[in-house]
Amino acid sequence: MKMNALVKLKPEKGLVLMQVDKPTPGPGEVLIKVHKSAICGSDVHIYDWNDWAASHVKPPMVIGHEYVGEIAELGEGVTDYQIGERVSGEGHITCGKCRNCRSGNIQWCKDTNSVGVDRNGAFAEYVCIPASNVIRIPTNLPEDVVAMFDAVGNATHTALMFNLIGEDVIITGAGPIGIIAAGICKYAGARNVIITDVNDYRLDLAKRMGATATVNIARESLEEAMKAGGIVEGFDVGLEMSGNGGAFNQMTGAMRNGGKISLLGLGNAPITVNMNNIIGKGLTLQGIYGRKMDNWHQMAYMVQGGLDLSPVITHRFHYTEFEKGFEAMHSGMSGKVILNWED
């Protein structure tokens, strides 16, 4: 049996929509019929074939790791799921044996295998993953939103690392994940959620998502936004979501003594850091990688509880129009882009 899939066929720019073998679930695996998928920044890197992609992906490879679908087939020994159940999947397949896996900290596994990077992914009519990575999805959640839950999980992991209730939060970088994080911080009880970027289109999306103020650092003052929000000693919590060294140093400069920072953004190159801010202020820094399994519950329940993530979805295309989706991502004038894999 064949299926349609978006394939990185050769080590060069672009993706090819082509027929490939429909995967067969092995022992302990399930086959998922994909309904919708979302384009991640890393999919754009793979499309562009930048240095990161060239060192991580071995073509030919079906890419994509953000999706929602239904169980289509069960491999040998899988008894926990039923055909037709609505599911998504944790995209990091962890070893299950290392010290962190055995402590339940799978986000720190020393041997992670990524769906759509190291093994065939979800920009396809079907994707095959281990049953232990399947996430059951309540049927009252909108599929467009669940399609991007992998990214929402990054935002949830970063945002909920430190207490937010009554706190003043700065987010640097209003990419899709920063925009989603703004919504989560407000939902979780933060007082001020101030987000910075250089892109007005994205800052506007963050405002619609719940940011209390936006700062275009190319022409606006962070200090004035802090003053307007009644912030006297600095931010309590910082979420770095740009990968930009300048943004990180601006953040550490604006934190209060004893403030806490979660770091998600990954830049292309090493950055120079102002250690005086970090040491003199006694800041706590926490690196964030992927998601904790518990984040899947938290995001589903936040959406059920009324967190509206739909403002970040700006484009929807049928998978046959995937080039338009990548164009929207490249333009910078986009939040999340959803691809529909059904007719």
Q: Which stretches of the chain bind Zn ion, using CB under 5 A? A: 94-95, 98, 101, 109
Q: Does the protein bind ligand NAD through residue 202 (CB under 6 A)?
A: yes
User: To the nearest whole angstrom, how small is the minimum distance from the Cβ of residue 134 to ligand NAD?
Assistant: 20
Which one of ligand NAD, Zn ion, none interacts with residue 86, CB within 5 to 8 A by kind? none
User: To the nearest whole angstrom, how small is the minimum distance from the Cβ of residue 214 to ligand NAD?
Assistant: 11
Which one of ligand NAD, Zn ion, none interacts with residue 196, CB within 5 to 8 A by kind? ligand NAD
**Looking at 265, 311, 325, 335, which residue binds ligand NAD (CB under 6 A)?**
265
Helix (H) or strand (E) holding 92: strand 92-93
Q: Does the protein bind ligand NAD through residue 218 (CB under 6 A)?
A: no
User: To the nearest whole angstrom, how small is the minimum distance from the Cβ of residue 41 to ligand NAD?
Assistant: 3
One-letter amino acid identity for 215? V
Q: Does the protein bind ligand NAD through residue 266 (CB under 6 A)?
A: yes
> Which residue, judged by CB position, is nearest to ligand NAD in the bound state?
175
CA dihedral 317, 321, 176, 183 (to 10 degrees): 0
CA dihedral 301, 307, 310, 313 (to 10 degrees): -80
- Check: CB of residue 262 under 8 Å from CB of residue 163: no
Q: Does the protein bind ligand NAD through residue 91 (CB under 6 A)?
A: no
| Cα 40 to Cα 194: distance, rounded to the nearest angstrom | 24
- Beta bridge partners, 235, equal 255
| Cα 43 to Cα 86: distance, rounded to the nearest angstrom | 24
- Interaction mask 229-248, ligand NAD, x per CB under 6 A: ------------xxxx-xx-
**Looking at 216, 278, 289, 310, which residue binds ligand NAD (CB under 6 A)?**
289
Residues of this chain, 153-182, that bind ligand NAD according to CB under 6 A: 154, 172-178
Nearest to 181 by CA among 295, 71, 329: 295
Q: Does the protein bind ligand NAD through residue 217 (CB under 6 A)?
A: yes
- Check: CB of residue 185 under 8 Å from CB of residue 169: yes
Phi-psi region of 169 (alpha: psi -120 to 50; beta: other; left: phi over 0): beta
One-letter amino acid identity for 229? G
Q: Which is nearer to ligand NAD, 116 or 265 (CB)?
A: 265
| Cα 183 to Cα 305: distance, rounded to the nearest angstrom | 13
Residues that bind ligand NAD (CB under 6 A): 41, 154, 172-178, 196-199, 202, 217, 241-244, 246-247, 264-266, 288-290
